[in-house]
Chains A and B, each alone.
Chain A
Amino acid sequence: MSTEPLTFDSAVAYRLHERVALRPEPFGALAYHYGNRRLNFLRAPELVSLVESLEAYDSVRAAFDDANIDPHRWPSFEKALASLAASGFLVADDTES
C-alpha cells in the first residue's frame, strides 16, 4: 500500500517505487522510472545509499540518523528526497507505520 503525497514528510516512511531501477555511476547513480519514463541523476553516492536504505526505516529521519552523512548536508539531502518523491521515484510506505 502506498500513496504519493503532495508534500514530503520526513517523519514518515518512504521507499523506492518498485518500478524504479538504479544504475551505479561515479557521481552516484542514474535512476529510471519505468512507470513514468523519467530519468533522474542521484548526484552523490551517499544519496544512493540513503535512498536504498529507506525501506528499512519507519521514517526518513531514522534513516538519516543511521546514515553516514554530515548533518550539515542533511537539508540538501532532504531536498533531494522531496524532489524524488515529487517525481514519483519515492513513495510513502505506510505498511509499517
Chain B
Amino acid sequence: MTLIDEPRPDNLVLSPVKTSGLGDQMKAGLDAPICLTWELTYACNLQCVHCLSSSGRRDPRELTTGECEAVIDELQRMQVFYVNIGGGEPTIRKDFWHLVGYAVDHGVGVKFSTNGSGIDAGVAERLAQSDYVDVQISIDGADAQTNDHVRGEGSFATAVRAMEHLHAAGFEGFKISVVMTRHNIPQVDEFKAMADHYGAQLRLTRFRPSGRGTESWDELHPTDQQQRDLYHWLIDHPDVLTGDSFFHLSALGEALPGLNLCGAGRVVCLIDPLGDVYACPFVLHDEFLAGNVRDEGGFEKVWQQSDLFIGLREPQSAGACASCGHFDACQGGCMAAKFFTGIPLDGPDPECVLGHGETAMDSVARASAGKDHSRTAVAIGRKPGI
C-alpha cells in the first residue's frame, strides 16, 4: 500500500527522538488517519489512461455540499489536519471553492490535485494568498508529446498555463506531480528543471496497475533498468517528494527516505465521491471497501471499527517473501500493485527488484479493475483533450 497517495505524507519531518518502534505503532493504526485522500468527484475533462479512479463521468450519487461539510466537521473533530483532495478533476464541482474555504475555516488544510484547467490568473492570485491551501499540478511528460499521449491532447499546454499563473502570482512551492512511466523516467532531469524554473517542488510517484492503469500497465510500467536508474536518481535527490511510494525499491540498497511501510487503513485511507471509504487511493475495489461516511457513526466509525481496517492493522505475514533477506527493506511492496496483477497479498510486489514478482504473475489471473466511470472507451495515445 502506500499512504494515500503516499506511504509517507510528503511534508513529514522525522525528528530524531526514539526512532525505533514508530513503524510498529503506525502498523497498528492510529485513532485518526495522518492524512487522507478525498476524491470529490468522478467527473473529469480528461480521461488519462492510468487514472486510478477510472474517472470521466460524474456520478449523480456523489456527496452533496451539506454531506461534504459534515465530513469536514468530523475531520476537524478527529484532528485530521489536512486532506489531499482529488478526483476526477475536483475544480469541476460547482461547490469546490466553497468546500476548500469551509475546510480551511474548520482547521482542515487542503492540498488539491488538478490538471490545471481550473487555475486562471484570478484563482492563482487567491491561492497565493492562503497558507492553508496547497496546489498540485499533474503532468506525465516533460513535453507535450509524452504527456498528451497519456493525458490527452492539449493537456500539457493547460498544465503549463496553470503553472505560469501560479508562478506569476507568487505561489511558492506548489507541487508538480508526475506518475513515473516507461516513457517519462528518462525525463526526470527535465521535470526537476521545470520545477526549479517555477519555484515549485517536484513530486514523483509510482504508477500502479489500478483503475484504468490495469489496462495500460503492461505498456507503461517501468523496466527493471529504469527502476534501478530511478532509485539512484532519488537517492541523489532527497529533496524530491515521493510520498514514499517507491519503498519497494529500497531492496536495491540503502533505504529511500521515509517510513517505508504500507499505510493502507493504518495511517491513510481514501474517501470517494460517494462517501465510500477505501483502504488507500490505489484500491478502489469492493475488496478494500471499509464502509461509507453516510453510515451511522460516519467516517470515524468506519476508520476505527471496520473489519477491513482492523484486519489491516493486524501483524501481516511476510508470506512468500519470508525467506528473502530484503523483506525488512521493501516490506513486500505495494498491496494494490499485487492485488491488481493477481498476486496474493502476501506474495511479492509485481515490480520486485529481485524479479520475484514476474514469476508470481506468470501463474495467476489478474483481478478485475473495479468500477469504471469513463465517458468513452480509453486507449493510449487516443484521448479526448481539454
Contacts and interface: CB of A to CB of B under 8 A. Distances in A.
Interface in B5-21: 9, 11-19, 21
Contacts of A30: 30, 34, 79, 81
Contacts, number: 80
B12 A43 contact: no
Given A25-B30, A35-B131, A80 B17 contact: yes
Interface residues of B, number: 27
A23 B81 contact: yes
A27 B62 CA distance: 37
B102 interface: no
Contacts of B111: 37
A26 B17 contact: no
Q: Is the interface of A mostly helix, strand, loop or mixed?
A: mixed
A36 B35 CA distance: 16
**Residue among A34, A41, A76, A80 with most chain B CB within 10 A:** A41
A21 B81 contact: yes
Contacts of A32: 81-82, 109
B13 A23 contact: no
Given A79-B16, A79-B17, A37 B30 contact: no
Interface of A: 19, 21, 23, 25-28, 30, 32, 34-44, 47, 76-77, 79-80, 83-84, 87
B21 to A, nearest CB: 7
B385 interface: no
B32 interface: yes
11 contacts: A28-B18, A30-B81, A32-B81, A34-B109, A34-B131, A37-B11, A39-B13, A40-B12, A43-B18, A47-B17, A76-B16
Contacts of A84: 15
B327 interface: no
B318 to A, nearest CB: 24
A27 B9 CA distance: 18
B64 interface: no
Interface string B316-327: 000000000000
